[in-house]
Chain A
Amino acid sequence: MNVSARNNVRINGSGERAMVFAHGFGCDQNMWRFVEPVFRSTFRTVLFDHVGAGNSDLSKYDPVKYGSLSGYADDLVEIGEELDLEGAVFVGHSVSAMIGILASLKAPGLFSSLVLVGPSARYIDDGDYKGGFSAKQVEELLEFLEANHMGWSAQMAPAIMGNADRPELGEELTNSFCRTDPDIAKHFARVTFTSDNRDDLAKVTTPTLVLQCSEDIIASTEVGEYVQRHIPGSKLVILNATGHCPNLSAPDEVIAAMRAFV
């Protein structure tokens, strides 16, 4: 099996250590376009799309395998094996923060540090734990995804990189960055928002940095603090950036925090 083609792996830069960027639910590796290039001078940067997103091989989408985050973590470990990675820096956004944690537990030594951007160990409230959503609200999101036509007409392969500043190409590419097969998007949403990885946090032995946005409705500060509190020895940086995607809205802040950590 060709892991690189399956996950649309892109490698850039030079450097002893590798830095692996994992995108979250919603879009694809383009999420890192304002952050990843900065690290090319000091790291070998690795970008990839989760199976089902971006330019990954959709034919490899197996609902059973990807019925839990563990399936995605297996892919991440395989990418590490194929590229012979050791002691790499992992940078995971949103749900990929947990995917990175699971991979670090499956393959000790693969990562020497974890940068978790907007992580949540569980999105749904559970007793005293406040994940930010009720089970009903998550169901509403799934329904909403079904009703939205982004991706309906979307058998076309998404995203050709590098034309954000060439809007004249926009007609053809409109909305393509976040275009996903609707069934896959729904399934990934379900897997993401019903996941519960609280018990895995304490097992993490890799040095970890949690980057938390202010006013993030997907992963609240409370949720980020919970993650930090339960990963032994981890650090928390609260960003001024608002929203859920500081890697896009405030790349400089994210880069600075990452540099200080690695």
Chain B
Amino acid sequence: MKSSRRCAPLSELTPSIPASSIIEDLEDLYENAPCGYLSLEPGGRIFKVNKTLCNWTGYRPEELLGQRLHHLLNIAGRMFYETHIAPLLRMQGFFHEVALDLVTAKGDLLPMIVNAAERRDSEGRPISTRITFLKATERRRYERELLDARDQSRSQEAAARASLTSERETSELREQFIAVLGHDLRNPLASISAGARILLRKPKDETETKVLQMMETTVLRMAGLIDNVLDFARGRLGGGITLSRNANTSIEPVLQQVVDELRTAMPDRRIETDFRITQPINCDRSRLGQLVSNLLGNALTHGAPGKPVLIRALTDNGMFELSVSNAGEPISAEAMEHLFQPFFRGRVRASLQGLGLGLHIASEIAKAHEGTLTVKSDSEETRFTFLMPLRT
């Protein structure tokens, strides 16, 4: 096949000095070549060396002639030469790209890349060894840097591994501690709750009733916090949120119970419901109760106190949709980004501040149901919507 692009012959492009008129001066080529030359007799003594190598090393030719190559090497180089290079040369008849440092007359080290070849007679006996030296200062520096970089990255990796391991151990311990703590906190809380309920049944004045109701609210809030902490710790411990689903029992009573509890605890707040559930929902009922409790708790905390909180639940189009909305200040764009992350807390009165786990746990529960939890917030209302598929 012919190339479509034709190259002009070199002679057409360059002003002509006829090639035959330039004669390479071989003697000069040897002496002043851009590389060092050195020849050894079979016994290992230098019998010829070029000017370039003399210039580089600072020796006069007569100072090198009759010497061994060792004369130009430091001890390490000599040992390496004797144990590696000399055998190699003898065995394969040459060596290529060997790194050697020459020692100059002044004692400085001159990094070199060295090739060598044996010249042998017809019977294979060595006549001489020709060695070529190329300066390799920059290259050696670069290689050194590569090695250093390798060593550095190795040690950094080792350090990172070690710190990761210790970090993991610490975090595991911390989460185990939280799990145990959450568990231990539930029991005394149950006693307080039971005590308050007994007292509520007895006749009492208005102040006493108010205090007992406040106690109920607090207990409820605290129980919710503890649940969230436990779930969070468990999730981090690798178990995730586990579900025990049940499609045969209605979800509505659970939702109603959560609403009733909060109404009892906060009688001055209005919670409106709109339940239109016509199909069975295969879900973990107590988990959905926890999700609703977290969403309602959030709405009551952050919503405008004078306005009602609305909870809607309906089945439609093969989906179960549950939303909680409240009026009030919209959620800032910045807060929006972190809303479902653990330990994120919006700006609110200190006494109402929780752990910042409620929405995180709610979104984890949504995920466990292969559902989603999304939020829309503007000046009219803030609405959290949980959406899950009904198919099982």
B partners with A? yes
Take A149-B97, A174-B92, A249-B90 as given contacts and tell me if A137 and B83 are in contact as well, using a CB distance cutoff of 8 Å: no
Which A residues between 93 and 148 are near B, CB-CB below 8 angstroms? 94, 133, 137, 140-141, 143-148
Q: Is A260 an interface residue (CB 8 A)?
A: no
Task: Give per-residue flags for B248-287: 1 if the beta carbon is below 8 A from chain A beta carbons, else 0.
Answer: 0000000000000000000000000000000000000000
Whether B92 pairs with A94 at a CB distance below 8 angstroms is no
**Of all chain B residues, which has the CB nearest A217?**
B78
Whether B76 pairs with A140 at a CB distance below 8 angstroms is yes
Chain A hits for B84, CB < 8 A? 26-27, 150, 178
Whether A243 pairs with B96 at a CB distance below 8 angstroms is no
**The residue from A26, A133, A146, A175 contacting B83, defined by CB atoms under 8 A apart:** A26
Take A148-B99, A150-B98 as given contacts and tell me if A245 and B82 are in contact as well, using a CB distance cutoff of 8 Å: yes
Q: Is B15 an interface residue (CB 8 A)?
A: no
Q: Once bound together, how far apart are the Cα atoms of A244 and B80, in whole Å? A: 11
Q: Once bound together, how far apart are the Cα atoms of A94 and B78, in whole Å? A: 15
Whether B94 pairs with A170 at a CB distance below 8 angstroms is yes
Which A residues between 25 and 42 are near B, CB-CB below 8 angstroms? 25-27, 30-31, 33
Whether A164 pairs with B140 at a CB distance below 8 angstroms is no
Chain B hits for A143, CB < 8 A? 76
Whether A31 pairs with B83 at a CB distance below 8 angstroms is no
Whether A26 pairs with B44 at a CB distance below 8 angstroms is no
Whether A167 pairs with B44 at a CB distance below 8 angstroms is no
**The residue from A141, A145, A248 contacting B86, defined by CB atoms under 8 A apart:** A248
Whether A141 pairs with B93 at a CB distance below 8 angstroms is no
Chain B hits for A216, CB < 8 A? 82
Which B residues between 44 and 92 are near A, CB-CB below 8 angstroms? 44, 68, 70, 74-80, 82-88, 90-92
Q: Is A218 an interface residue (CB 8 A)?
A: yes
Q: Is A24 an interface residue (CB 8 A)?
A: yes
Take A140-B75, A164-B93, A167-B93 as given contacts and tell me if A178 and B82 are in contact as well, using a CB distance cutoff of 8 Å: no
Interface size class of A (residues with CB under 8 A): 35 or more
Q: Is A84 an interface residue (CB 8 A)?
A: no
**The residue from B92, B99, B147 contacting A164, defined by CB atoms under 8 A apart:** B92
Whether A147 pairs with B75 at a CB distance below 8 angstroms is no
Chain A hits for B94, CB < 8 A? 167, 170
Chain B hits for A165, CB < 8 A? 124
Q: Is A177 an interface residue (CB 8 A)?
A: yes
Take A140-B76, A217-B79 as given contacts and tell me if A242 and B87 are in contact as well, using a CB distance cutoff of 8 Å: no
Q: Shortest CB–CB separation between residue A22 and chain B, in angstroms?
A: 15
Chain A hits for B86, CB < 8 A? 243-245, 248-249
Chain A hits for B78, CB < 8 A? 217
Whether B79 pairs with A218 at a CB distance below 8 angstroms is yes
Q: Is A173 an interface residue (CB 8 A)?
A: yes
Chain B hits for A30, CB < 8 A? 91
Chain B hits for A94, CB < 8 A? 83
Take A141-B75, A141-B79, A218-B79 as given contacts and tell me if A245 and B92 are in contact as well, using a CB distance cutoff of 8 Å: no
**The residue from B82, B98, B143 contacting A244, defined by CB atoms under 8 A apart:** B82
Interface size class of B (residues with CB under 8 A): 20 to 34
Q: Once bound together, how far apart are the Cα atoms of A43 and B113, in whole Å? A: 43
Q: Shortest CB–CB separation between residue B91 and chain A, in angstroms?
A: 5
Q: Shortest CB–CB separation between residue B319 and chain A, in angstroms?
A: 58
Whether B95 pairs with A175 at a CB distance below 8 angstroms is yes
Q: Is B18 an interface residue (CB 8 A)?
A: no
Chain A hits for B74, CB < 8 A? 140
Chain B hits for A164, CB < 8 A? 91-93
Q: Once bound together, how far apart are the Cα atoms of A218 and B85, in whole Å? A: 14
Whether B79 pairs with A146 at a CB distance below 8 angstroms is no
Whether B87 pairs with A148 at a CB distance below 8 angstroms is no
Take A165-B124, A173-B92 as given contacts and tell me if A244 and B83 are in contact as well, using a CB distance cutoff of 8 Å: yes
Whether B98 pairs with A146 at a CB distance below 8 angstroms is no
Which A residues between 13 and 56 are near B, CB-CB below 8 angstroms? 24-27, 30-31, 33
Q: Once bound together, how far apart are the Cα atoms of A24 and B43, in whole Å? A: 22
Whether A24 pairs with B79 at a CB distance below 8 angstroms is no
Q: Is B338 an interface residue (CB 8 A)?
A: no
Chain B hits for A133, CB < 8 A? 75, 79
**The residue from B90, B140, B147 contacting A248, defined by CB atoms under 8 A apart:** B90
Q: Shortest CB–CB separation between residue B13 and chain A, in angstroms?
A: 34
Q: Once bound together, how far apart are the Cα atoms of A20 and B279, in whole Å? A: 88
Chain B hits for A248, CB < 8 A? 86-87, 90-91
Chain A hits for B76, CB < 8 A? 137, 140-141, 143-144
**Of all chain B residues, which has the CB nearest A27?**
B87
Q: Is B161 an interface residue (CB 8 A)?
A: no
Q: Is B144 an interface residue (CB 8 A)?
A: yes
Given A144-B101, A177-B88, 6 additional A-B pairs, CB 8 A: A24-B83, A175-B88, A217-B79, A218-B79, A218-B82, A245-B82
Can you list 8 A-B pairs, Cβ within 8 angstroms, ordered by A?
A31-B87, A143-B76, A147-B140, A150-B84, A164-B93, A175-B95, A193-B79, A245-B86
A interface residues, Cβ below 8 angstroms from B: 24-27, 30-31, 33, 94, 133, 137, 140-141, 143-150, 164-165, 167, 170, 173-175, 177-178, 193, 215-218, 242-245, 248-249
Q: Which 10 residue pairs of A and B lie closest in terms of their CB atoms, listed nearest first?
A: A26-B83, A144-B76, A248-B90, A140-B76, A141-B76, A244-B82, A137-B75, A178-B84, A148-B99, A26-B84
